[in-house]
Amino acid sequence: MPMNLKGRSLISLDDISATEIRHLLTLAAELKAAKHAGTEVPRLARKNIALIFEKDSTRTRTGFEVAAYDQGAHVTYLGPTGSQIGHKESMKDTARVLGRMYDAIEYRGFSQDLVKQLALHAGVPVYNGLTDEAHPTQIIADMLTMREYTHKHLSDMAVTFLGDIRNNVARSLSVGAMKVGLDLRLCGPAEFRPDDAFVDHLKALAGASGAKLTITDTIAKAVAGADFIYTDVWLSMGEAKALWAERIERLGPYRVTADVMRASGNPHAKFMHCLPAFHNADTEIGASLEKEFGIVGLEVTEEVFESRASIVFDQAENRMHAIKAILLATIGN
Ligand code: CP
Ligand code: NVA
């Protein structure tokens, strides 16, 4: 199948095929090796990229900035305040303005519809840097990381996602996993099950790729034989703080502990998290949750987070290499 991502947007992993995902992974691995060897060749000279962030970010923003700078491109950061976006100018108008000036646009915000509108009207590639529904660039980085830690093909790996199984990271992981043929287990309380339309969509993708999908509230079943155990925060950006009490109560049993890692029966099982993570009380929110609920660390224990099984900082580094691959494939010279 011919592979050409030139001029294309990435607003969801539904936008790209399994072959294209594999191509991005290969390109990202090559770019990572070249950067480490000091042999990287800049292929984004004279390109300008707009970075819109309506929510906070460490990895996604720096990943885009460093990837762009390494390759000779320039970026403009537009934060939650300081531009006309949203309060005074619609996304449709913003798209047509930025599309006249920039070669590509990254967008992190709330609604998936807004990033779709941006892609529809900008006339240049648009990348979803996280919305309430999707986080596609994260999953390209995560698959790169998974490949680095096993000798297995993606289609032979078993991955368990524990906790808030309907959030943006879980959804994008699910779409990506179904595309490349992974054995994916989503494990959380029954009421956190993703909506039926989405599950049907995943099943259709699995039918085409041979992927396996399990949705369960039973941890032992979900982690048995897993190569990777992945979790994310229990309350995502944009969700009401008033929900913390309910989330802690409902998702508490799904925290990744050393026992959960052992229950995989796989001594090589690795722990994954997109970050940022609540694994101790060393943050403002972590400290206030400890004070209010008497709980230290939430979705993962400090022991697992700091263990040899934890590959979370490889994931973080790989955000940049994966984003660089996406930039090169879509707007590279
Ligand atoms: N994983 C991730 O997207 O991190 P940031 O929120 O720091 O960008
Ligand atoms: N689910 C998290 C991911 C952060 C990278 C959030 O949306 O806040």
Reading the block at residue 288, the tokens are 């206030």
Amino acid at 227: D
The verdict on the CB of residue 273 being under 6 Å from ligand 1 is no
Closest residue by CA, ligand 1 atom 3 = 60
**Pair 310, 276: CB distance under 8 Å:** no
- Tell me how far the alpha carbon of residue 275 lies from the centroid of ligand 2, in angstroms: 8
Pairing type for strands 48-53 and 74-78 reads parallel
Task: Answer whether 29 contacts ligand 1 (Cβ < 6 A).
Answer: no
Report whether residue 285 contacts ligand 2, using a CB cutoff of 6 Å. no
Proximal ligand: closest to the CA of 58: 1
Rama region for 163: left / alpha / beta (φ>0; ψ in -120 to 50; rest):
left
Q: Which residues of the chain have pLDDT under 50?
A: 1-2
Specify whether the CB–CB gap between 256 and 162 falls below 8 A. yes
- Give the C-alpha separation, 7 to 197, whole Å: 30
Cα–Cα distances (Å) from 298 to 161, 219, 245, 254, 288, in that order, read 15, 17, 12, 10, 12
Please tell me the number of the ligand nearest to residue 235's CA: 2
**Does 57 sit in the ligand 1 pocket, CB within 6 Å?**
yes
| Ligand 1 proximity of 300 Cβ (cutoff 6 Å) | no
- Centre of ligand 1 from the C-alpha of residue 130, in Å: 8
pLDDT digit string, tens, across residues 235-286: 999 999 999 999 999 999 999 999 999 999 999 999 999 999 999 999 999 9
Q: How far apart are CA 96 and CA 165, in angstroms?
A: 35
Q: Which amino acid is at 126?
A: V
Cβ neighbors of 18 (< 8 A, separation 6 or more) are 179, 180, 181, 209
- Ligand 1 center from residue 207 Cα (angstroms): 31
> Is residue 281 within 6 Å of ligand 2 at its C-beta?
no
Ligand 1 pocket mutation pick from 54, 56, 57 by most atoms within 8 angstroms of CB: 57
Q: Give the residue, by CA position, lying nearest to ligand 1 atom 7.
A: 58
Q: What are phi and psi of 132, to 5 degrees?
A: -60, -25
- CA distance linking residue 265 with residue 268, whole number of Å: 9
Q: In three state form, how does the secondary structure of 205-218 look?
A: HHHHHCCEEEEECC
CA-closest residue to ligand 2 atom 7? 236
Residue partners of 61: CB distance under 8 A and separation at least 6? 51, 53, 77, 129
Q: Could you please report the per-residue DSSP string of 1-54?
A: -----TT--BSSGGGS-HHHHHHHHHHHHHHHHHHHHT------TT-EEEEEES
- How far is C-alpha 120 from the geometric centre of its chain's CA atoms? 22
> Which pLDDT does position 3 carry in this prediction?
61
According to DSSP, the residues that pair with 106 across neighbouring strands are 51, 127
Residue whose CA is at the smallest distance from ligand 2 atom 1? 236
Handedness of CA 153, 11, 192, 233 (dihedral sign): positive
Contact 124, 105 (CB under 8 A): yes
* 261 touches ligand 2 (CB under 6 Å): no
CB 155 within 8 A of CB 181: yes
Which string of DSSP letters, residue by residue, matches 239-295? S-GGGHHHHHHHHGGG-B-HHHHHHT--TT-EEEE-S---SSS-SHHHHHHHHHH--
Q: For ligand 2, atom 6, which residue shows the shortest CA distance?
A: 236
Ligand closest to 233 (CA) is 2
> Does ligand 2 lie within 6 Å of residue 167's CB atom?
yes
Check: CB of residue 43 under 8 Å from CB of residue 71: yes
**β-strands 228-231, 48-53 pairing:** unpaired
What is the helix, strand, coil percentage profile of the chain, to 5? 50, 15, 35
Domains and CATH numbers, the chain: 13-134+317-331 (3.40.50.1370), 150-310 (3.40.50.1370)
